[in-house]
Amino acid sequence: MMVIRPIRANDYPALYQMAVESGHGFTSLPVNEELLMRKISRSMASFNKTVSSPGDEGYLFVLEDTSSGQVCGTSALEAAVGLEDAFYHYHLGKVVHSSKTLGVYKTVDILTLCNDYTGVSELCTLFLRPPFRQKFNGRLLSKMRFLFLAEFAERFSDKIIAELRGVSDAQGNSPFWQWLQAHFFSVDFPTADYLTGIGQKEFIAELMPKYPIYVSLLSKAAQQVIGQVHEQTRPALALLESEGFSCRGYVDIFDAGPTVEARISQIRAIRDSQRLQVRIAEATGSGEAYMICNTTLSDFRACWAELQPQANSTEISIPAELAKALQVNAGEWVRISKL
C-alpha cells in the first residue's frame, strides 16, 4: 500500500537520490548533503512544534510503498515564505506611453522585482520517482497536502502559492535566464538556481536590475517563455488549476515559470472534504477513489482508497488493512476528499 507520512532522519538516502533525479530547475531539492539534512531536521521539528499561527515551519512528506519500505516520492508545505530570507518574484504588469499631441498610445509589458508573496504559505518540493508515476500516486502525493491544510489550518496563511518550473532544456539552460545572464550576471542558470536552493540569495539583491524590465527589450526566446511551464510540469499545473489555483502575473526570477495562487478556503479538495468517524468493516463492493488521512499531526498518515461514504452519515467504513496503514482505530476520526 502507498502511504504518505512525515519524513524521518533515516529517509536521507532516498531524499538525496530524489534530489539527484529531479535535475536542473528544481530549486527546493538541491544536491547538497548539509541542506537536505537540515530540511529533514526542520521538518521533524515543525511536526513536533506547538503552533497557533504560521511562522518559519516546513513540513516535508514522503510517499512510501509499505510492502517494500521504499520511498517513492516527496512533497512539502511551507507555512510562511520570506520570513527568514527574501522571497523574490517578477510581476508582469503594464505601463502606458501616450501623447495626445502625437496621437500615440502604446501599452508596454514590464517585469517588476517584488516580494509580494511574503508571509503566504507554499506548496513545494513535489517529486515522484519515474518508476512510480502510475495509478493515483502522483495525484495523492500532490493533493494530500490539501487534507493536511484543512486539518491543521491554524498552521498556515489564508493564501497559498505554488511555483512551477519554467522552460529549460536538458542541460538546464533557461532562455529567460540567458538574457539576464548576458546583461546582469556572470553565472549560468544551474549555478544561480543551486545557490538559491542552498539559501545563498544575496546575489539576487546585489545584481538583479532594480528598475522594471521592458519585456520588449528581452530576446524573442526569453519573451516566449514568460509564464510558461516546463513540459514535465504541465500535469501539475492542470491539477492545481482544477483545484482553483490561478496565475496573477507573478513569475520566477530565474526561468520565468508561473506562480499560481489560491485562497485555502476556496480549494476544491478542502472545501469538499469531510471529517468522519471510523468504522472497521470489510468492503462490500467497489467505491470511488478518495484521499483519506488521519487527524494526528506528528504521526500523520494519508492514503488513497476506494470508499463508499454515505450521504448525511458521520461515519465511514474502512477495511482493517487501511485502518492499520492510517494508524487509526474504530471511533477515531479521519478526513476524506475525492481524488
Q: Which of 168, 188, 146 is nearest to 252 (CA)?
A: 168
Q: Active-site residue 230, yes or no? A: yes
Q: Which residue type occupies 176?
A: F
Q: Which of 157, 132, 172, 164 is nearest to 78 (CA)?
A: 157
Q: Say how far apart CA 222 and CA 226 lie, in whole Å.
A: 7
All 3 cell numbers of residue 208?
Answer: 538583479
| Crossing angle of the two packed helices 189-197 and 175-183, in degrees rounded to 10 | 90
All 3 cell numbers of residue 110?
Answer: 514590464
Q: Do 292 and 305 touch, CB atoms closer than 8 A?
A: yes
Other Cβ atoms less than 10 A from the Cβ of 109: the count is: 17
What string of DSSP letters covers 302-334?
EEEEEE-PPTT-SEEEE-HHHHHHHT--TT-EE
- Give the catalytic positions in this structure: 230
